[in-house]
Structure 1
Amino acid sequence: MLIERYGVLESGVRDVFKEYLRAEKAGFRRFKPLSRSIRLHDDALYCVADVDGCEKAVCVVKTPDKAPKVFREESPIRFGEYIVYMVDFNVENLRKLVAEKPELGPRSLRGYPRLGLGVRMLFTLPPLIDALKELDVLSDFQLSAGREFSLREVVDAKPGLYPEWLGHTGLDAERLYNTIAMECFKGGLEAYGTEIDHLIITRQTARALTRILTHGEGSAEEGLEDLESSMNYNRRIIDEASATGFVKGITVDASDLIRYEFMDPDRWPREAVRRRFMEEFDGEAEQVLDTVKPGHTYKIGSYELVFTEEEVMRIALKYRLCLLKVKELYEYFRSKVGEDFTYELSLDETPELTEPKELFYCLSECSRMGMPVDLVAPNVGFFKREDYPGRLDELEERVRVLSAIAERFDAVLDFHSGSDKRAEVYRAVSRACGGRLKLKMSTIYQLKYFETLAEFPEGSEERRLFEEIWDYTLDYVKRRASEGDEVAKRQLEEVLKRMGKPGFVKKPDDDFFRYYSFIVVNAKKPSGERIFKERLYRLASKKEVRERYRRKVFEVTKMVAEALGLLGSRSGYLASRSARNR
């Protein structure tokens, strides 16, 4: 590809440098630019190069003032009309570069249509980045706080101190977000976002969270109340993540704090609801009723919503505690990263579908409380690792109403548990949203890697490792079943029946494995040594494994992005930003 402004061919950059270095006898034995890293930004060419076995960040400019400060601290190399600066390619130098040139790092993507991709294993990043570039798709990178990544002291602790599922990727915020930023720069990905996914606020915190708060010195009995323990755990996650300088958004899930009892007229008659509403909202009661006006007809596209006063009060009480605690984390995150970040409200992990009136109220109340929503995740009937089981016409109509409500508040719907749906489901929700949507998926890329290992011949190192993690997962499911996990019980019974039949073969699509194999990445021996992680990462670097996995990553990303209508979304975002800045 010709970089016209400089008259330099990407494929020829290496030869240009080699010619200069040879002529000047600069002493470099090796100079190999990584072609996928080359990008042009603000009259400067950037890339990553192997210089005598060391990775260097390279900046090529015509005038010194176009080079960021981190490069100008080093002595330049000149050839012809060009000036070449090189610094070590490391996190600290990248952080300095992004502080001066934010467009070279993660961005707050607000309500732009895109994917949200979980990187449970860091070697997934290069093939994902290449797929996003080739398909021209905009995306965030993230993991769920607590479940997928956690505090460093948690993921590195010996087994038994914390629940096995807590931080099951073995990643803490520093490793996760630093690696995302480094790999995206190295891969030349021009626009991407990052977020802390699912900061979960709960009233039923396990003893583990109190231990986290007291650095292993306390117990649940002598610690803080569960709700405050949960809040403090999330604050510590925010501290570690924001300290990287590479986090641009949060998703907050306080579904556990929703008080469903206020919707029951038998438990809460009308007058009792009114008294409680006035008590809890006090001086804000009039503002709430003025924000969502009883008796007013809200026209939203072809839909109409009319609230009674009692409905407003019941819904307000239902979500009061939930939104108050969300606000606390919103303000805490803002105090760490400033004003430029993306905020998502998660309502998907609830026992019931999200009602249009309740979504309208929550978005309205968030705006009134000073935390306008960029993205909102309602419960539309999606389940993790399962295809959508219902009628698509009903799904499409449900989503169309919710999307119209979100659009009224300049928000976009985000679909969680987005993996493992057929293309028709993705097309249905995209039509319903008019293409204005985000969809998150994480598990699928881990399962595709396990699938890659399973495809190798019997007796190969790859196949043997797959069978080991299959066996470990089965043992884990047996423990979960014995502890009362109904899903584990059902799936265990099913696989045990099949194991007793002739010709049984261990497969990556066995239901119990698809649901519970997440546990293997950070599985540990009693000494704290990880059982599988080193081998999982090492095998991923083998050429044949890497190429097979790369194809699978590309195929699943293409199918989802194409069905959602997101091909070309990255160019669309960049064009809109360019137009806004003109």
Structure 2
Amino acid sequence: MRSEFIHQLVSLAAELAGGVPGGKTASEELGPNARWYASSWQRVGGVDLFLARDGVERCLVVAGAGPEAARVPGEAVATGERPVKVAAYSSETCAALRALFPWTAPRALPKGRPSFGCGDRLGVATPGQLRALRQTRAALVLAQQSVRELTLTGRSYAEVVDAATWGVFQEGYQEGFGADGDHLKTVDEVRTLLEAGATFITLDLSLCLGRASGLPEMPDAVRQLEGNSWELAGERLEGSPDDLQGFWRVYGPAFAFIEEADALCRQARGAGGYDLEVSVDETAHATRPIDHLLLATELVRRGIAVSSIAPRFPGEFQKGIDYIGDRERLEREVAIHAEIAHRFGYKLGVHSGSDKFAVFPLFARYGGDRLHVKTAGTSWLEAVRVVAATDPALFRAIWAQATEGFPRAREYYHINTSLADVAGKADVPDSELPRLLDDDACRQFLHITYGEILKAPAPGGGTLSDALQENLARNEARYALGLEAHFRRHADGLGFTSP
């Protein structure tokens, strides 16, 4: 870091010694593209701690002496009665923050509230997400990544948790947050992400469902449901022999995985110390309500307490765009799925939930506080929107790399968009580039190619990931405002902002 910047931090630390966190402070600007964050200022044991940034370089400043200061690694930059040290952003610094301030560590979500998951593929979206959502009723998941996303971005899950810790401390958010190891398909993945800090485990059953080789005998408890009927949302569900056989043939092979994963969670976090979601949303067909009901019934019988179940809803919940499909059918089935969730006391999971503005009201109507909504790539798209508005040359380099990598990226995601749908769309004046982020085909094109983009070389050296980080540091306020507006729109549509 620049010596001038370090000198400013030392002077600021001396000034803060006479004040109180949360009180009136000096300007947060410390020169061109440099600042400190007044919202991060904390005092513990007479030691002041706050975050600052010089370009893309981020740091924790520790002013004072004592055991609290000693727990933070860093370089001494001032000595005397009130020494100052600067700890660069690192896994060690984030671990020290979690040790000193438990509210910067992920935890199980509170019961009785809806919840909202925020993906962050770049590690700098948490402040803007928090500004939109901290005043809502929703409990927040701020560290959320799937194994697929980790592979494509080249990040570890521990890095995802660290980014959330840093953002939470920067904003002074003390209400708690979850860390979701998303779409985990194997026991090894569950174990690895628990070790890396996940408190919310999403089990993706797609490798188990319908697997003939792993089909155990149907339990008597399931057989005994034959002939039962259930009234749900004005519809009658029947436990016919064919329905029971069909359910067990598809879901029977998955229970061993669910039980082993739940046991690992309980061992790592203790009873009540984690959230477990069962997801069947990435399947070829919509989840039958009778299958959802039977799945919930069997989980209860086995003593597995889930926080949410995410069905595959009818229609298309594609990445980065609004709902596609028959809304009347969707409403009928959401009403039934939501009533099942209400009866069993867990939340209805809504995956690929970003930008589904047309159908948010019906989920709010039937789900109420029994909703867990996940978003992933929409924060990434807001970052690309900032680049389109502030650095057209960088945006065009991103677009070119997305074009080259699109065929590979499409292997990972189901979307309607093809290269033909976006051909020539970027051939517009620079001033019109941000509008591409309002076009469905362009949104999907840029949404799924993030892995191809981030690892590619940038025209000026380094990678496009480096160039993106530099741009977002220069335009930090703009990115936060964009995220705040975008996520506020989600919260409003889902009814999370009402009392």
Q: TM-score range by the shorter chain?
A: 0.7 to 0.9
Q: Give the aligned partner of residue 374 of structure 1.
A: 307
- Displacement, 1:331? 2.1
Q: Are the counterparts in 1 of residues 389 and 431 from structure 2 also a CA contact under 8 Å? A: no
Q: Give the aligned partner of residue 141 of structure 2.
A: 140
Structure with max Cα Rg: 1
Q: Are the counterparts in 2 of residues 257 and 321 from structure 1 also a CA contact under 8 Å? A: yes
- Displacement, 1:142? 3.4
Q: Are the counterparts in 2 of residues 198 and 250 from structure 1 also a CA contact under 8 Å? A: yes
Q: Give the aligned partner of residue 108 of structure 2.
A: 108
Q: Are the counterparts in 2 of residues 108 and 194 from structure 1 also a CA contact under 8 Å? A: yes
- Displacement, 1:403? 0.6
SS at match of 2:338: helix
Q: Give the aligned partner of residue 324 of structure 2.
A: 389
Q: Give the aligned partner of residue 493 of structure 1.
A: 420
- Displacement, 1:413? 0.6
Q: Give the aligned partner of residue 200 of structure 2.
A: 249
Q: What pairs with 1:103-502 in structure 2 (closer than 5 Å)?
A: 103=103, 105-109=105-109, 112-133=113-134, 137-149=138-150, 167-201=151-185, 230-232=186-188, 234-235=189-190, 238-239=191-192, 241-244=193-196, 246-259=197-210, 280-281=216-217, 285-290=219-224, 293-300=225-232, 302-339=234-271, 340-380=273-313, 381=315, 382-422=317-357, 424-456=358-390, 462-478=391-407, 491-496=418-423
Are 1:55 and 2:68 matched, yes or no?
no
Amino acid at match of 1:537: Q
Amino acid at match of 1:493: A
- Displacement, 1:418? 1.1
Paired-residue identity, %: 20
Give the whole-Å Cα distance in 1 for the aligned partners of 2:385 and 2:101.
Answer: 40
- Displacement, 1:97? 7.0
Amino acid at match of 1:242: L
Q: Give the aligned partner of residue 552 of structure 1.
A: 482
Distance 1:258 1:50, change over 3 A: closer
Q: Are the counterparts in 2 of residues 169 and 521 from structure 1 also a CA contact under 8 Å? A: no
Distance 1:370 1:524, change over 3 A: farther
Q: Are the counterparts in 1 of residues 106 and 198 from structure 2 also a CA contact under 8 Å? A: yes
1:393-439 deviation line (CA, Å, top 9, x unaligned): 432221111011011111111111112222x3111211121342121
Give the whole-Å Cα distance in 1 for the aligned partners of 2:165 and 2:133.
Answer: 15
SS at match of 2:237: strand
Structure 2 gap segments, 5+ residues each: 1-12, 21-29, 73-81
Distance 1:190 1:86, change over 3 A: farther
SS at match of 2:182: strand
- Displacement, 1:128? 1.8
Distance 1:73 1:252, change over 3 A: closer
Give the whole-Å Cα distance in 2 for the aligned partners of 1:484 and 1:441.
Answer: 17
TM-score of the two chains, using structure 2 as the length reference: 0.76
Q: Are the counterparts in 2 of residues 91 and 182 from structure 1 also a CA contact under 8 Å? A: no
Give the whole-Å Cα distance in 2 for the aligned partners of 1:137 and 1:417.
Answer: 17
Give the whole-Å Cα distance in 2 for the aligned partners of 1:367 and 1:436.
Answer: 18
- Displacement, 1:177? 0.8
1:251-299 deviation line (CA, Å, top 9, x unaligned): 010123211889xxxxxxxxxxxxx98xx237xx223335xx2222334
SS at match of 1:390: coil
Amino acid at match of 2:349: D
Range with bigger deviation, 338-347 or 470-479: 470-479
Amino acid at match of 2:394: L
SS at match of 2:148: coil
Q: CA RMSD in A?
A: 4.2
Q: Are the counterparts in 2 of residues 113 and 438 from structure 1 also a CA contact under 8 Å? A: yes
Give the whole-Å Cα distance in 1 for the aligned partners of 2:470 and 2:71.
Answer: 36
Structure 1 gap segments, 5+ residues each: 1-12, 21-29, 61-66, 75-83, 150-166, 202-229, 263-275, 457-461, 570-582
Amino acid at match of 2:261: L
Amino acid at match of 2:201: I
Q: Give the aligned partner of residue 18 of structure 1.
A: 18
Amino acid at match of 2:385: E
Q: Are the counterparts in 2 of residues 116 and 440 from structure 1 also a CA contact under 8 Å? A: yes
- Displacement, 1:307? 0.6
- Displacement, 1:138? 2.9
Q: Give the aligned partner of residue 27 of structure 2.
A: none
Amino acid at match of 1:357: I
Give the whole-Å Cα distance in 2 for the aligned partners of 1:100 and 1:46.
Answer: 11
- Displacement, 1:137? 4.7
1:100-122 deviation line (CA, Å, top 9, x unaligned): 87555322116530211001111
1:289-316 deviation line (CA, Å, top 9, x unaligned): 35xx222233446544331244223312
Q: Are the counterparts in 2 of residues 396 and 431 from structure 1 also a CA contact under 8 Å? A: no
Give the whole-Å Cα distance in 2 for the aligned partners of 1:467 and 1:256.
Answer: 38
SS at match of 1:191: coil
Give the whole-Å Cα distance in 2 for the aligned partners of 1:86 and 1:553.
Answer: 34
Distance 1:552 1:501, change over 3 A: closer
Q: Are the counterparts in 2 of residues 435 and 564 from structure 1 also a CA contact under 8 Å? A: no
Q: Are the counterparts in 2 of residues 119 and 125 from structure 1 also a CA contact under 8 Å? A: yes
- Displacement, 1:189? 1.2
Distance 1:327 1:14, change over 3 A: farther
Matched residue pairs, number?
448
SS at match of 2:108: coil
- Displacement, 1:123? 1.4
Give the whole-Å Cα distance in 2 for the aligned partners of 1:407 and 1:118.
Answer: 26
Q: Give the aligned partner of residue 79 of structure 2.
A: none
Distance 1:44 1:312, change over 3 A: farther
Distance 1:260 1:137, change over 3 A: same
Q: Are the counterparts in 2 of residues 385 and 443 from structure 1 also a CA contact under 8 Å? A: yes
Give the whole-Å Cα distance in 2 for the aligned partners of 1:330 and 1:393.
Answer: 36
SS at match of 1:420: coil
SS at match of 1:195: strand
- Displacement, 1:530? 6.1
Q: Are the counterparts in 2 of residues 413 and 437 from structure 1 also a CA contact under 8 Å? A: yes
Give the whole-Å Cα distance in 1 for the aligned partners of 2:294 and 2:64.
Answer: 50
1:548-569 deviation line (CA, Å, top 9, x unaligned): 2222101111100011111268
Picking from 36, 47, 51, the partner of 2:39 is 36
Amino acid at match of 2:163: T
Q: Are the counterparts in 2 of residues 34 and 47 from structure 1 also a CA contact under 8 Å? A: no
- Displacement, 1:491? 1.7
Give the whole-Å Cα distance in 1 for the aligned partners of 2:431 and 2:497.
Answer: 41
Q: What pairs with 1:86-105 in structure 2 (closer than 5 Å)?
A: 95=95, 98=98, 102-103=102-103, 105=105
